Every structure is written in C-alpha cells, then in structure tokens.
Structure 1
Amino acid sequence: MARPKLLPDNFTLALVGTVILASFLPCRGSAAIAFNWVTNIAIGLLFFLHGAKLSREAIVAGATHWRLHLVVLLSTFALFPLLGLVLKPVLTPLVTPALYTGILFLCTLPSTVQSSIAFTSMAKGNVPAAVCSASASSLLGIFITPALVGVVVSNHGATTGSPWHTVGNITLQLLVPFIAGQLLRPAIGAWIDRHRAILKFVDQGSILLVVYVAFSEAVNEGIWHSISLSTLAGLVAVNILLLAAALFITAFTAKRLGFSRADQITIIFCGSKKSLASGIPMAKVIFASHAVGAVVLPLMLFHQIQLMVCAVLAQRWGARKTAAEPAREGKPVAAPARR
C-alpha cells in the first residue's frame, strides 16, 4: 500500500526516533568522544561517496542556461538570508534566540540535490537544468554557507569563531573528501552507480549519527527545559512562513522574467529547498557542540515541511501537464485549404 503523501517518510520517522533516543539516553563522557570520532569519519565518507557519485557531465550539464542557475543561486543564498533578517520582528516572538540562530543558519544553506531533481521530474520540469543547478548549489554551499554564517549569524548573537577558520574546517572535512571522490570516480564510479543503496545508507546513517550526538549534547545542556510546546508550534509556523514566502517569490520572479513553464518549475523547486544532508554536517563543523542541537532543530522541521508541501505541488503540476498532453494531441488537425 502506498504511503499517504502527507505522512512522514521512514527517514523522518528515524530522525524523530533518534531525537527521542538522545532525549532519554544521551551519550556522555568517553562514549560521546567515541561517537564524535565515528561521526566525523561517517561525514567524510559521505562526502567522498557524493564526490564519486556525481558525474562531471552532470556538473557541467546545462551550464549554458546561466539565467536559470543565477535565479536559483540568488534565491538560495540571497533571498533566504534576507527573509530571515527582514522577518526578524515576526519570527523572534515565536521562537527562542537559539532557535532563531538555527533559522538564520537554515537560510544560509544550499539547496537539496535528490529531492529537487525528483520533484522537478514529477512536475514535468527541466530535469537537466535541475541536476546542474542543484549540484552547483550543493558544491558552492561548501564555501558560501560558512561565509554567510560569519556575516548573518555572527551579527545576531551567535559565536561561530573566525569565518576563515570555519572555511578551513569545512574544506578539510567536507571538500577534500568530495574532491577525492571526484578524482577516484573513473575507478569506482561504476561500482557506486551499481550500489546506490550503500550511498543512501551512509547518507542517512551519518545524519542520524550527527543528530544523536548533537541532541545528546543539547540534552546534557538542558535544551528541553528551554523549549516549550508553544515554542515548537511557533517554530513550525516560522518554517511554514519561510517556505511559503520562498515558493511565492520564486514562482512570481520566474514568471515575470519570462521563463518557460518547465524552467519555472525547476526554479521553484530548486530555489525553495534547503539541504538537510549538507546542513547537519556543516552545523557540526561550524557551531560549538552544545549549540548544534538547537541550531539543527529548525532545519529538521523545515526538511519535513518542504517534502510534504513540494510533493503535493509536484503531483498536482505533473498531473495537470499529463492531462493537458492528450487534450492537445486529440485536437483535430485542420484540413488543408482547397485551391
């Protein structure tokens, strides 16, 4: 039986279970040190496999469609941070200062890759452009996100250390493994393509590890004593507001700039998403360990909300496109005029 489209997927349920586990059985002392080491290794392996999986053809595919990619990148790395800052008077009464820091961090993150491409395909959008745009966003985010965090988040009460130090850590822990995977792709790329389940296991497993370690530290610091149910409800409302604003602005902008319907769909889905797979490892590198739990909580909620909303939109737009095609094909062809 197919899962109802508005219910959480298995990975989201696993995330919730991991948070519950960390809330009742947090790791401490030597166990926390061991988990940190395992988590760092898993993150390095994750980005290594992503580098080996991503073909160079996919990286350069559609690169000539620069207007579309520019709109997506501006939405991801300019529109979202501006929304986080401009909406501060609306957002801050709903959440704690620590959660607002997480919201600003969420706004600096790159777009997703897998779901952006999947939803674009479902909605009959420009899939090659989505592959190129989402991949470029993910790769550029390794450099842009730390710089944005240093500007946007540090000016609003968060201590994240030197931006150069952060970029150095990101480069060492994320970019170096990614480049190593790219360099070894000719040797192991075909094997990776045949065993994508391994990448999915490492992808999801590394995120669950980071979430467990982050929330263990947050629980040890008393996170659940500072976040009430009303605050969580406010955080959900904030995420819905951010996503709705991003969807509306990207749709309006893409239409006004004269993009085709397929390109509009690509811009909407690639420009309104934020990557959980990139965001959680980056949060672990950028923020102090005791702050990571509160920082990633907005991202975890946004992840599920964006999946549910975009799934509904993609299915509706895809069905509309499919229904329109037979109608066009069924139109009678006018007979040639007689001389």
Structure 2
Amino acid sequence: MNASPAELRSWLSSRLLTLCASETTSGAEDAGLPDLRALLAELGATLVEQPVAPGRTNVLAIWGRPQVLFSTHLDTVPPYLSPRLEGETLWGRGTCDAKGQIVAQLGALKTLLAEGRDGFAWLGVVGEETDSAGAAAALGLADRLQDLKALINGEPTELKLATGQRGVQHVCLHCQGRAAHSGSPELGRNATWPLLDWLQRLREQARPVDPQLGPELWNLGLLQAGEALNSVPAKAEAHLMARVVPGSTLLDEIRRLAPPEGSVDLRLDEPADLYPAVPGFDRAPMPFGSDAPALRALVPDRTVVLAGPGSITVAHTLDEHLTLSDLEAGVDLNRRLALHFLGD
C-alpha cells in the first residue's frame, strides 16, 4: 500500500536529513555508506558494492531484472554544511546536489514498489564533482544491466529535462618573457602584459548560441605570473574553463589570437552531448555538466534523461537548500519518467 502524502513527506524529509548528516566530500564518500545501505535495505534492494578507491565505493541497488536505471552521485563539494529543516525547507550540503536527488529517486522507487512493480536499479557513483572516477568504474557493472531501456540521471534541473550539456574544455594559455630586477624592468620582458592583451582580445570575440544547449562561454579561473614582487615575471599563464557547443571554434580562435610569445595547452576536451525529448515533459538547457554522458553507455540504445528537483543556482553555495514541495515533485517526476520508459 502506498504511503499517504503526509507519511511520504515525513519519510522524505527524515531520510534526506539522515543522508546529509554525513560529510561525503569527494574522496571520502564512504562516510555515508552505512546510512545508504540501511536505506536501500529498507526498500528491499539487492546490493552490489563496487570499490573504486580507498574510502570510495559505488553502490548498485537492484529490484528484479532492471529496465530503468536511476543514478546520481554520492559526493558533495566542500565545505560541509550540517543539515537542518526550517519550515518547508531543508538546508545543508547535498540537499539538492545530490543527496536530494537520491531521496527523490528512492522515493519514486518506494512508490513504484508499493504498486507491485519491479524491474528497476539505482546507482550511486563517487567523484562526480572532481574526477568522475565512479562513472568510469560503473561501466564495469554493465553485465548486471543488460535489459536497460533508459537511464534517469539526477541533478538539480528545476524539474525540467535537460536538452543536453555543453562540452567542456580546460585550456591553458602560456606566455614566456625574460626575468629582470624590478628596479630595471627594461632589461627584462614581462610575460604578464602579452597574456593580459591576449585575454582581452579573446573577451572581445562574440561566442555562438546553440538552439538546444544555450550560449558558449568561458571562465578565467586561474591567472598566475611571476615568482617574487621585486622581479619581472618570466612566465605567465591563464587557465580557462570553457563550456562549448557543437561546432565550436573557440580553441582555433585562442590560437589565432595568440601573441608571438604565447602557446596553448589543451588539458581537457569533452564533447557536447544531446539528450532526447520525452513526450509530456518540459525541457530546458542546463549550464552544468554531469556523469550522464559517461553513464548512458550502460543503456544499449544510450537513452538518457537528466532531471531532478532543486536549482543549480544554489548548489555549491553556502545557501544550498531544497523545499519539501520540490522534493515531492521530484518523486512524482521520477515516477512518471520510469512509467514512461516501462511503456505504461
């Protein structure tokens, strides 16, 4: 028998508070493993634990022969913020990114199982916020998931289905100069100035807008130059994190705009990914990345949905939170998506 709305709300809030009480920043995800095991055992799951690294374990829960796989990540970003319930809002690290996704997905599964359905799996992976080591390792679980029709990956999308996600490029711009004493700068060549001019030229270039994924953009995350206050810098570098759209020319433009003393080092290049529309569900571009591009390889035809309650605008902030009404709406969203892919 399904729980009443009041009973379900109480269950959702208490389980989310319990999960958020453990500090599971990337690299220390196993701190939350005992509570997660207890929650999945409560739902009658068959558990498969996949060690990824010391203190880091992927968790796969299975009900029947899975056709629909729910997934999200177990790690959170620092700093740890202890959870609290104030009125209708749950505050704390992980409330929406992504322990709120865990509870919304397991709440949907709780409802579906009470309706007598099975054929589900749930996957929690480590490291999404840093190295995505869990997603890479999870591909080794494919033999247990051979009948999958779809993957529903949970991230805070404000209950809309992501149209996809932009590609990611980490580009390092280097400039070389010649060191000298700061009292005689004319004897050196400051590497900082051509780098700053290079960045300004790049800032003046219009970036494209993709109709499904939104605008291409880049962020200057790190700017480093020099070794001492009283020396002319002999080298300088800028690290850019770019969110690129299909057909991007950003890397070519960076190289074209480089000064004679400049060089370019591409350190990460992940392509953009598009996700299918699902009839009856709203869609929107999302400004963030996820493990969905890697995990969709678990589904024979690569069908994937990226969706969940909460907003990315509060994820990773000191004000991370999720309302109970959004959490309940996330349960409903995940339930309806599962039924769609089951053909009901």
When normalised by structure 1's length, the TM-score is 0.26
Larger Rg computed on CA atoms: 2
Between structures 1 and 2, the one with greater helix share = 1
When normalised by structure 2's length, the TM-score is 0.26
Q: Which has the higher contact order (CA 8 A, sep 6+)?
A: 1
Between structures 1 and 2, the one with greater strand share = 2
